[in-house]
Structure 1
Amino acid sequence: MELQGRSCISLPLILATWLLVAAAFIGPAECIRRKRQLPGGSEDGKGGGVEQFKYSAAACRAHTASLSDFGGVGDGATSNTAAFQAAVSHLSQFASDGGGMLFVPAGRWLTGPFNLTSSFTLFLHRDAVILATQ
């Protein structure tokens, strides 16, 4: 369609072009878990304090924790069932406050069955493997 010798560009084409350009300049969302106190630990690094970690994620939750914070050991031989259960139980209390995300660091994490909850993300590091017991 032409108006006064000029061609009209459709609104959907303009929006699609803008979205492609914007997507090229916007990086993936990053979640950063800041050092904080967990039950049974201290922030001074001597009594179970939490180290800061950073990772990319599609959707961040308001509350995060690492499986290591709950005594998890990623050696492929130690049972981590109690650590998974404790972490999910702790993070499930934040379902109505932005949800919880459990970060599973690199390693081989042996576990028996455990239940997940709503408003919860289980985020595995690219080098994390969950091994199930029988």
Structure 2
Amino acid sequence: MMFTHIMVGCSDPAKSKVFYDALFGALGGTPGFDTGKGAFYQHNGGAFGFTLPANGEPVSYANGGTIGFAATSTDMVEAWHAAGLANGGSCEGAPGPRPMPGRNLYGAYLRDLDGNKICAFVDLTEKA
């Protein structure tokens, strides 16, 4: 494994928890552990969290950065995207095929409540 966890900043921990609980629920995960300043999720060997910035400055997001979450079916990608939209996220790419040489990918993109770009993908190459 290349990393121990991924953490992003948030401006409203309570609203972010509702948003990410819905997203991880759509991927088969459980609600996050509330840290008081954010929440932390563990699912399928990965760890993800969000928190108020430790330095007290306004939250910001990575320009050009994307965090990808694994799904196991196209239905799961679609449920993930719908959960994000229903809980305040914005669409950055509707669910659908994502062409890549030699791979059969299906994915969707969202922006979370603080502008972080996230996606969910399933690789259908082996399933075809």
Which structure is richer in relative contact order (CA contacts within 8 A, separation 6 or more)?
2
TM-score, normalised to structure 1, is: 0.28
Structure whose residues are more often strand by fraction: 2
TM-score, normalised to structure 2, is: 0.29
Structure number with greater Rg is 1
